[in-house]
Chains A and B, each alone.
Chain A
Amino acid sequence: MENSNKLSQFASRFSSTEITGLLPMVDVARAFLEGNDFPTTRVERFKYTRLTKLANAQFESSDVSLPSDYHKHQICSGAYAIYNVNGKVFLPETALPEGLSIDFISSEKALPTSTVKDVFAGMNVLYAQSGVCVHVAKNMVLDRVIEIVHVCTGSFAGFSRNLLSVGENAQVKVLLTFVSEQTKECFSHVHTSIQVGRHANVNVEKVQIESSEMFSFSDEEIWQDADSVFQINTLTLDGNLVRNDLHIQVQGEHAETHLNGMYMLNGQQHVANYTTVDHQVPNCESHELYKGIMDDKSLAVFNGKVFVQQDAQKTNAFQSNANVLISEDASVNSKPELEIYADDVKCSHGSTTGQLDDEALFYLRARGISQKGATQLLLTAFMSDVLGKISIPEVKNKVVEVINNRFDWELTL
């Protein structure tokens, strides 16, 4: 009976987690997975994501070796760098300042209980083997970036789990880098729990430059305490099938949340961004901005949900999604949702889909700018507000470098 469906066949290659902090969650996850197969497109959360390729993919553990040059994937040179290479974690070699601790996730006794929304989140609880936990003590203002670099090679498949806990008044910038190289079919699912303390300021940049064979799943769950500011930029630049699931629980008053995203797809890529902002207390605000450019036969999905609970009066929540299709066969599915149970709120969402404006192109071309130059100008303008939100200069440079390679541009910012 164990191998009766594709999901249990898929799961059978993983061994049970040895992370003690996860054990309290195991029952819930197991119950969720019980009898479940890979979700079909009839399941609302996977309405636009076909998992057949993943279900049929071959992953050979024999083919997984650690590359020697994994250091080159680090984007931010001055960062405290942590590597997760095919599930093996390497902690930073430099000395850490007092108040900052970075350790293996297995050393953490209690992990926050994360929400199990789909089978992948469930499997992560059951099969996560590695990961890192980072504690930033209260009042600590960290001027160096913490970068967690996830590297996948060969035909690796595995789950990892990170915890970032930021104390009161602390300020920190974190970079989550996802890269893969020389892959065959390759799968990774990374869960990151982030606890943001009172008055803390946390800035997360998530950069995904995955290979065209990569199934890259990741989810982040964030708990925000009062008066905190949290910003996350999800920048998806390459990959085969990329799913990002972002769940923010705003639990303290006067907290501020910013979520931005940029996705640039070509080939047959599929990128899905699912976001939930759950306002549970009054007087908070959230701002969400996701923008995407779809080329070739790519398919993008944006599903943003703003949830305002009954007690969360005086919530201001804004959500916006804009898409540009630059080829005949690209498509986009956007579902911006509001679910509101409090009355004294200001909430709005907007979604647009279109192409480059012919008149704008003509205007530029009439002034002697080439087709390529005009396209570059307009697309750059389209994305500039998201690019402008990136707080780490080296990340911005990296993004520009990838864009330039993609479109053969000479863009400088």
Chain B
Amino acid sequence: MAGYTENELAQDLENQEYKFGFVTEIESDTVPIGLNEDIIRLISSKKEEPEWLLEYRLKAFALWKEMTEPEWAHVHYQKPDFQAIAYYSAPKQTKKYESWDDVDPEMKETMKKLGISMEEQQRLTGVAVDFVMDSVSVATSFKEKLGELGVIFCSFSDAVQNHPELVRKHMGSVVPMTDNFYAALNAAVFTDGSFCYIPKGVRCPMELSTYFRINAGGTGQFERTLVVADEGSYVSYLEGCTAPQRDENQLHAAVVELIAMDHAEIKYSTVQNWYPGDKEGKGGVFNFVTKRGMCHNHAKISWTQVETGSAVTWKYPSCILKGDYSIGEFYSVAVTNHYQQADTGTKMIHLGKNTKSTIISKGISAGKSQNSYRGLVQINKSAHNARNFSQCDSLLMTDECGAHTFPYIECKNPTAKIEHEATTSKIGEDQLFYCMQRGISEEKAISLIVNGYCKEVLNQLPMEFAVEAQKLLAISLEGSVG
């Protein structure tokens, strides 16, 4: 490694541009900026939505107007101007694609740059991708194969048209529009998203995947995901996010609702790589997401997330363990660099008997970033023999960053067992020395240690994602060791 010092590496990485920062020049159909009832009616009519959904949106909008933005999170940012955002931006298209060949070549190119070339994925990985670009799904693969099993996997708007009874029954049942400021906003203006229904007893044969991208400038992305796993079914769902590089802050306020009926299992994995802003902290995505799952008897919901992007992250994937013997899991790696700020964690609400939850959170802060874990473990009166284990570790890479832990532990039942532990430290010099004296270069040693540190979480990711996640970690981190 002669000649290539750690400092040089740091410099290289610091200068490294956001590698997903490109803008696809596809004609977009964008509504005027601003937010009022007319815009909502316009979005709704463009999407040919039924009356009940429009009413739902308007009700949410009325509620949202009364709400104020939450300020309790450990993040500081210039609040977005909600009137300066275009709430709808759809790639212009008149007809649905008949086949994959019909898809705009430029869009195919985008997907290639994202590393999710559809042909390849169709052939090699068996991942069915529902690709959401600026809010409208443009292509859905493997629909037929899934159709045979009765699995519904389509864009949210399609679901509204084709399966209104399912959407109407479940939408808002886990994250009601009254839940919080951003959930209300999303309920009012959401444009599209993914819908997934797994029928009774079906084990979904492939991993379902959505790729989100914010493309047009000045747009917010408000998508809504609803996953319903009926009794005894299983599904693994992947979600990836990127955004092009822009100077202004883009807003992303999504809602994800999971419903696991009796004996069902949902595994939800996210790799979030929204544009984090440049190294001066300019631009970047505001990621204000509400994710929650409802577990019925013997059901299991497992959240796995690798958060490396976004200028500001405000995200708490949660589980309501309503049914007896239900299980909630949360595995998270959150990496912040430069001026990124993350306030993320989970809520485990234990209601049923013999419910179990596990929380493994690994935070890594570098540069001048602030990384917080905020979690709630609530054992309610009815939750006999509830069990929780939480572990929140933080790794600090420089002396200008911060790592914080704010766990709330509330216990109202004496039969519960709750354990929480957290540690904060930097990479031990002894560990580095041990690796280096065995001929491993410093940067490789750091990567080795960081990967080892995150292993518990990365292990939870499906194979394809695990590889991507490791690459992301490498990009986000290695150069930042001071």
Chain B associates with chain A: yes
Contact between chains at A343 and B420 (CB < 8 Å)? no
**With A339-B402, A342-B399, A343-B397 known to touch, is A348 a contact of B423 (CB < 8 Å)?**
yes
Chain B residues, Cβ within 8 Å of A347: 423-425
Q: Is B407 an interface residue (CB 8 A)?
A: yes
Chain B residues, Cβ within 8 Å of A337: 404-407
Contact between chains at B407 and A323 (CB < 8 Å)? no
Residue of B nearest to A342 (CB): B399
One of A331, A348, A351, A354 near B412 (C-beta < 8 A): A331
Q: Is A52 an interface residue (CB 8 A)?
A: no
One of B72, B409, B416, B426 near A351 (C-beta < 8 A): B409
Q: Is B421 an interface residue (CB 8 A)?
A: yes
Contact between chains at A336 and B422 (CB < 8 Å)? yes
One of A328, A331, A354 near B410 (C-beta < 8 A): A331
Q: Is B414 an interface residue (CB 8 A)?
A: yes
> What sequence of 0s and 1s flags, for each residue 324-360 of chain A, a beta carbon within 8 Å of any chain B beta carbon?
0111101111111111111111111111111100000
Q: Taking each of B409, B416, B421, B423, which has the highest tally of chain A beta carbons within 10 Å of its own beta carbon?
A: B409
**With A338-B404, A351-B409 known to touch, is A343 a contact of B422 (CB < 8 Å)?**
no
Chain A residues, Cβ within 8 Å of B424: 338, 340, 345-348
Determine the distance from Cα of A344 to Cα of B406 in the docked complex, in whole angstroms.
Answer: 20
Q: Is A143 an interface residue (CB 8 A)?
A: no
| Interface of chain A residues 271 through 290 with chain B (CB within 8 A) | none
Residue of B nearest to A328 (CB): B414
Q: Taking each of A330, A343, A345, which has the highest tally of chain B beta carbons within 10 Å of its own beta carbon?
A: A343
Contact between chains at B411 and A343 (CB < 8 Å)? no
Q: Is B419 an interface residue (CB 8 A)?
A: yes
Determine the distance from Cα of A103 to Cα of B396 in the docked complex, in whole angstroms.
Answer: 48
Q: Is A384 an interface residue (CB 8 A)?
A: no
Determine the distance from Cα of A339 to Cα of B407 in the docked complex, in whole angstroms.
Answer: 12
Shortest Cβ distance from residue B345 to the other chain A in the assembled complex, whole angstroms: 12
Question: At the interface, is chain A mostly helix, strand, loop or mixed?
Answer: strand
Determine the distance from Cα of A363 to Cα of B180 in the docked complex, in whole angstroms.
Answer: 50
Determine the distance from Cα of A340 to Cα of B392 in the docked complex, in whole angstroms.
Answer: 14
Place the interface of chain A in its size category.
Answer: 20 to 34
| Interface of chain B residues 450 through 482 with chain A (CB within 8 A) | 482
Chain A residues, Cβ within 8 Å of B404: 337-340
Chain A residues, Cβ within 8 Å of B417: 352-355
Q: Is B43 an interface residue (CB 8 A)?
A: no
Q: Is A310 an interface residue (CB 8 A)?
A: yes
Chain B residues, Cβ within 8 Å of A93: none
Shortest Cβ distance from residue A47 to the other chain B in the assembled complex, whole angstroms: 8
Shortest Cβ distance from residue A85 to the other chain B in the assembled complex, whole angstroms: 38
Q: Is B415 an interface residue (CB 8 A)?
A: yes
Question: At the interface, is chain B mostly helix, strand, loop or mixed?
Answer: strand
Chain A residues, Cβ within 8 Å of B416: 325, 353-355
Chain B residues, Cβ within 8 Å of A342: 396, 399
**With A347-B424, A348-B423, A354-B416 known to touch, is A338 a contact of B411 (CB < 8 Å)?**
no
Contact between chains at B414 and A327 (CB < 8 Å)? yes
Chain B residues, Cβ within 8 Å of A344: 399, 426
Q: Is B433 an interface residue (CB 8 A)?
A: no
Contact between chains at A346 and B414 (CB < 8 Å)? no
Contact between chains at B411 and A331 (CB < 8 Å)? yes
**With A348-B423, A352-B418 known to touch, is A341 a contact of B409 (CB < 8 Å)?**
no
> What sequence of 0s and 1s flags, for each residue 311-325 of chain A, a beta carbon within 8 Å of any chain B beta carbon?
001000000000101
Chain B residues, Cβ within 8 Å of A332: 409-411
Shortest Cβ distance from residue A355 to the other chain B in the assembled complex, whole angstroms: 5
Determine the distance from Cα of A332 to Cα of B397 in the docked complex, in whole angstroms.
Answer: 35
Contact between chains at B421 and A349 (CB < 8 Å)? yes
Shortest Cβ distance from residue A344 to the other chain B in the assembled complex, whole angstroms: 6
Residue of B nearest to A295 (CB): B414
Contact between chains at B411 and A349 (CB < 8 Å)? no
Chain A residues, Cβ within 8 Å of B306: none
Chain A residues, Cβ within 8 Å of B403: 338, 340
Q: Is B196 an interface residue (CB 8 A)?
A: no
Shortest Cβ distance from residue A272 to the other chain B in the assembled complex, whole angstroms: 13
Q: Is B332 an interface residue (CB 8 A)?
A: no
One of A313, A336, A345, A353 near B411 (C-beta < 8 A): A353
Chain A residues, Cβ within 8 Å of B410: 331-334
Q: Is B269 an interface residue (CB 8 A)?
A: no
Residue of A nearest to B395 (CB): A343
Q: Taking each of B72, B401, B406, B414, which has the highest tally of chain A beta carbons within 10 Å of its own beta carbon?
A: B414
> What sequence of 0s and 1s flags, for each residue 382-405 of chain B, a beta carbon within 8 Å of any chain A beta carbon?
000000000000101111111111
Chain B residues, Cβ within 8 Å of A346: 423-425
Shortest Cβ distance from residue A322 to the other chain B in the assembled complex, whole angstroms: 10
Q: Is A69 an interface residue (CB 8 A)?
A: no
Determine the distance from Cα of A235 to Cα of B402 in the docked complex, in whole angstroms.
Answer: 33
Residue of B nearest to A327 (CB): B414
Chain A residues, Cβ within 8 Å of B100: none
Shortest Cβ distance from residue B33 to the other chain A in the assembled complex, whole angstroms: 34
Determine the distance from Cα of A75 to Cα of B53 in the docked complex, in whole angstroms.
Answer: 70
Determine the distance from Cα of A394 to Cα of B414 in the docked complex, in whole angstroms.
Answer: 33
Residue of A nearest to B416 (CB): A353
Q: Is B22 an interface residue (CB 8 A)?
A: no
One of B379, B396, B413, B414 near A343 (C-beta < 8 A): B396
Chain A residues, Cβ within 8 Å of B418: 351-354
Chain A residues, Cβ within 8 Å of B420: 334, 336, 349-352
Chain A residues, Cβ within 8 Å of B399: 310, 313, 342-344
One of A341, A348, A351, A353 near B402 (C-beta < 8 A): A341
Residue of A nearest to B422 (CB): A349
Shortest Cβ distance from residue B420 to the other chain A in the assembled complex, whole angstroms: 4
Chain B residues, Cβ within 8 Å of A338: 394, 403-405, 422, 424
Q: Is A98 an interface residue (CB 8 A)?
A: no
Q: Is A2 an interface residue (CB 8 A)?
A: no
Residue of B nearest to A319 (CB): B422
Contact between chains at B414 and A350 (CB < 8 Å)? no
Contact between chains at B411 and A323 (CB < 8 Å)? yes
Q: Is B408 an interface residue (CB 8 A)?
A: yes
Contact between chains at B414 and A330 (CB < 8 Å)? yes
Determine the distance from Cα of A333 to Cα of B411 in the docked complex, in whole angstroms.
Answer: 6
Shortest Cβ distance from residue A279 to the other chain B in the assembled complex, whole angstroms: 12
Shortest Cβ distance from residue A282 to the other chain B in the assembled complex, whole angstroms: 11
> What sequence of 0s and 1s flags, for each residue 375-400 of chain A, a beta carbon within 8 Å of any chain B beta carbon?
00000000000000000000000000
Shortest Cβ distance from residue A94 to the other chain B in the assembled complex, whole angstroms: 47
Q: Is A34 an interface residue (CB 8 A)?
A: no
Residue of B nearest to A338 (CB): B405
| Interface of chain A residues 292 through 314 with chain B (CB within 8 A) | 310, 313
Chain A residues, Cβ within 8 Å of B409: 332-335, 351, 353
Chain B residues, Cβ within 8 Å of A340: 394, 396, 402-404, 424
Determine the distance from Cα of A396 to Cα of B407 in the docked complex, in whole angstroms.
Answer: 33
Determine the distance from Cα of A362 to Cα of B426 in the docked complex, in whole angstroms.
Answer: 44
Shortest Cβ distance from residue B226 to the other chain A in the assembled complex, whole angstroms: 31
Chain A residues, Cβ within 8 Å of B413: 325, 328, 331
Residue of A nearest to B420 (CB): A351
Chain B residues, Cβ within 8 Å of A323: 411
Determine the distance from Cα of A330 to Cα of B398 in the docked complex, in whole angstroms.
Answer: 43
Shortest Cβ distance from residue B332 to the other chain A in the assembled complex, whole angstroms: 17
The 4 closest A-B pairs by CB, nearest first: A325-B414, A343-B396, A331-B412, A353-B418
30 A–B pairs (Cβ distance < 8 Å), ordered by A: A310-B399, A310-B400, A325-B413, A331-B412, A334-B410, A335-B406, A335-B409, A336-B422, A337-B404, A337-B405, A338-B403, A338-B404, A339-B74, A340-B403, A341-B400, A342-B399, A343-B397, A343-B482, A344-B426, A347-B424, A347-B425, A349-B422, A350-B419, A351-B418, A351-B421, A353-B417, A354-B417, A354-B418, A355-B414, A355-B416
Known: A335-B408, A338-B404. 7 other contacts (CB 8 A): A310-B399, A325-B413, A328-B413, A336-B407, A339-B402, A340-B394, A352-B418
